[in-house]
Amino acid sequence: SGSEVVALEGYYIIQHVFIRTALSGQSTDLTGAFDVPDPDSMTLGGRTLVRRPDHDSVVLIETTLEQGDVSRLFVTNGFDSTLTELANPNDGTEFWHIGPNGQSVAFWSFGSNGRELFTSDISDPVAPTNTTLATGESFDLIPVPEIAYSPDGSYVAWIDSVTGSAVNAVYLAEVEVGGSARQVSSSISDSALELAWSPDSTSLAWVSSAPNAASVVIQNIVSGQTVTAGLPVGFYNQLGWSPSAQFLSVHDFFADEFWVAPADGGAAARADRNVGSFAQELKWITNAGGSGNDYVYESVNAAGVSNIFVAGAADTNDNAQLSNHAEGGLRSLRVGPQGTRVAYINENLNVNAQELFVH
């Protein structure tokens, strides 16, 4: 919860972070447990609440001190106000990513020992243990620093600068082994910009950026086999895997449209199957009874009118219209967790209002 406070000395925000446990039904205010030089200058935010298999609640909290913009990470077991810091209090932490099972977190630490990438085992929130995966000098060359756990939690991938080079590369390490980092991207001239794991944790995709274009590279991390997606020349971002791990969706941000590419390097196709229209938003459908290759997308025609369609990546003739709007634009496209419903907001220009639709 957050509250705004106006003081005689000026204006600032005080936020309180509470954690409530299902077993006791009690709520605990964790705000006062932070040891900071000036509490009034601290912005406190609870980023992730993880439900553990043993039903303990573990929360990962990032705090930012406005003086110097130092970011610090804490973990709590949720039953009392005890907080444990994951790094040296004098070091800053950044670009953290929590593992899929809630048992570990990866983060960069900046401080007296330089720059280090850690994984922290938080299965015991009172006594977390850190393992160093990598060290480096600076992030000066990295446009989008990223850390990504594989969906099964076995691997951590990240982007870092190559020593003595002006490019960024993709690195990989096994979480349990720790410290066994290896470079998986091989280009000596192109920089890696974005990471995406396949749902089955066997393949890693990234955007490889050249001076005048970008490509999407896909590598099987077990065999080491690498292919380049069969996309036209473009500038790509927003990588997304189909639930089947057979296709990738990518966004060309200059053309502002999505493409769907086979993960084996086959020829890609425009996500929008309608002539003269462009897919400006795309979501894959996770459905236990489906193929794992279906997606919904926002189709925008030449007049700027948006409608929702559902299509199959494996069949270019598989395209069905869900909505029938004559004007206005759509936003906030969402697919329900069971993959059977779609929700979005439509800007109704006739009544100057926003409308929520569910199909």
Q: What is the DSSP string of 194-237?
A: EEEE-TTSSEEEEEEE-SS-EEEEEEETTT--EEE-BPPSB-EE
Read off the pLDDT of each residue in 20-32 and give the average, rounded to a whole number: 54
DSSP code at position 26:
-
Of the pLDDT bands very low, low, confident and very high (cuts 50, 70, 90), residue 341 is very high
**DSSP of 96-157, one letter per residue?**
EEE-TTSSEEEEEEEETTEEEEEEEE-SSTTS-EEEEEEEES-STT-SS--EEE-TTSSEEE
Most confident segment among 30-44, 183-197, 312-326: 312-326
Is the pLDDT reported for residue 91 higher than 90?
no
Q: What is the pLDDT of residue 299?
A: 92
pTM: 0.79
Per this entry, what is the length of the chain?
Answer: 359
Higher pLDDT, 249 or 34: 249
Strands 92-98 and 2-7: unpaired
* Nearest-angstrom CA–CA distance, 100 and 175: 12
For tokens 């569910």, name the residue: 358
Q: Which residues pair with 32 in a beta bridge?
A: none
Q: What is the pLDDT of residue 214?
A: 83
Closest CA to 197 of 218, 178, 223, 225: 218
CB 292 within 8 A of CB 243: yes
